[in-house]
Amino acid sequence: MTRHHNHDVLIIGSGAAGLAAALHIADRGHSVAVLSKNAINSGSTQFAQGGIAAAVEQTDSKANHIRDTLVAGAGLCDVDAVSNIINRSSEVIEQLIAWGVNFDKNPSLDDYHLTKEGGHSFRRVLHVADSTGNAVSAALERNASQRKNLELFTHHVAIDLISRPQIPGMTIDGNNARHCIGAYVYDIRQGGVEIFEARHIILATGGASKVYLYTSNPDGSTGDGIAMAWRAGCRVSNMEFNQFHPTCLYHPHAKSFLISEAVRGEGGILLLPDGTRFMQKFDNRLELAPRDIVARAIDHEMKRLGVDCLYLDISHKPAAQIENHFPTIKSRCLELGIDITKEPMPVVPAAHYTCGGVIVDQNGLTDLPGLYAIGETSSTGLHGANRLASNSILECLVYAKLVSETIDTQLNQTTQPEHHLVKREAKTIAAWDESRVTDSDEDVVLSHNWDELRRFMWDYVGIVRTDKRLERAMHRILLLKQEVHDYYSNYKVGNDLIELRNLIQVAELIVKSARMRKESRGLHFTRDYPNKIDPPVDSILTPASKDPLDVFIRQRRA
């Protein structure tokens, strides 16, 4: 028998955005379920080293922070969204402190120690040494475990959203308007598919950088929320803008270890294999240029010289300073035989952040009533064509608060708007039907398809693109999409299949968006169209369109 769960709010994802929203909603007295594919802290948040950008220093200002964000976004930021998020930065920092995050302070002063990262004109990044994400994740998890009306479901992965057309016998104020009411969810440990039903559903599943062969992200960053929202009928925006972090540690045993941008903020310099600096050839801001510029510069020099990596050196700084600010990086490098106080670190760019995503309004609501998207899953307008360093957790926390306020208002209203008032004639959500599928004896197909997808996305849809490369990628995506569809139709679902299905869908959206943009802007650089086109426009894909390539809406976000 299919297990059926019912809550006021279902949150899919347990990173900073998901857990912060869960705490706000639970503290308002509503029941909340949070789903995590692995352990609660397995998302990208805990790996964020740099920190959280906020203008808290007296010589800095929110206006400066807004300006730097707009410049980094290369003309595609939504000014209202940028202003709204940054103007609430002090509020969410105070909330984090109340939840138990202890940001580093200057030893002799009663103020915060702030670092400076690429694209910022001031030191404004609050941090906890070089493991800010871990501190934030731990504080959120600790608080979540103390809320009696907040249930945490680990090792549960959502398959698809459930909306009104799938539910016979349901009406919304007497009509057949669509409304998201839950999700089918696979229990990874026990097997089997469960139904999670709620009056409001929040997607907080993070980004999709696992679509690339080399990434700083954990294994779960497979674009699940973006793919599910797309299949449910939601528009997505600016999926071609994939941020490649310039400096991931290059070592056969390092896996996906990020070297924080704060290393460059504290004086780290980039070097060629012969010890020569090179960033002066690309930007007068040198190592502190925005990430897209630094990543392209490293990629260019690696290809020009035919080398596997370049180097980041901070060994010219006092050893005590390095150990104080970067204990995690120093410790990890030492495990691999690299002493960063005495020698440079080998680095390469790696896929890091998905700047586009599911289109949402100023309160996080998607095109599908009852469904919200926050964090890296969403496209709020903050990042535009390139994310400014350390703006990500800030966005997660602000939208977690905005969504919780909106949902609380809806749940407390006696007469709710039409798309929030759901009347049930009967419990008619169909159980997951596995009567016509079997267990697979060919899981090797999944691993081969997974590997093929990530390799050709890295080769053809990476830091530098061309029309020919994008065409080759799309051809392979369509073949894989059909293979996985056939597999999905004939065999029982499992975590690998669910994630691969989502990755292929997201890869298709990335390539379609990239093919639409006939210019180079921000994180999207193509040799065929090296110049910008004005005025800048969002690339918006609409599921209802027969061919989303024809839907290049030349207007700002609706």
**Which one of 291, 465, 517, 521 is the catalytic residue?**
291
Burial of 283 (0-12, 13-18, 19+ CB in 10 A): middle
Q: At what angle do helices 79-87 and 89-98 cross, to 10 degrees?
A: 40
**CA–centroid distance for 297 within its chain:** 24
User: Which strands sit side by side in the sheet containing 114-115, from one edge to the other?
Assistant: 52-53, 125-126, 114-115
Cα separation of 226 and 505, whole Å? 9
The rounded distance, in Å, linking the Cα atoms of 459 and 92 is 39
Structure tokens at 119: 């694209």
Collapsed DSSP state (helix, strand, coil) of residue 202: strand
DSSP 18-62: HHHHHHHHHHTT--EEEE-SSSTT-SSGGG--S-EE---STT--H
Structure token digits, residue 303: 């290809």
Specify whether the backbone of 223 is left (phi greater than 0), alpha (psi in -120 to 50) or beta: left
Instruction: Assess whether 124 carries a catalytic annotation.
Output: no
Cβ atoms of 403 and 372 within 8 Å: the answer is yes
Query: What are the catalytic residues?
Result: 291
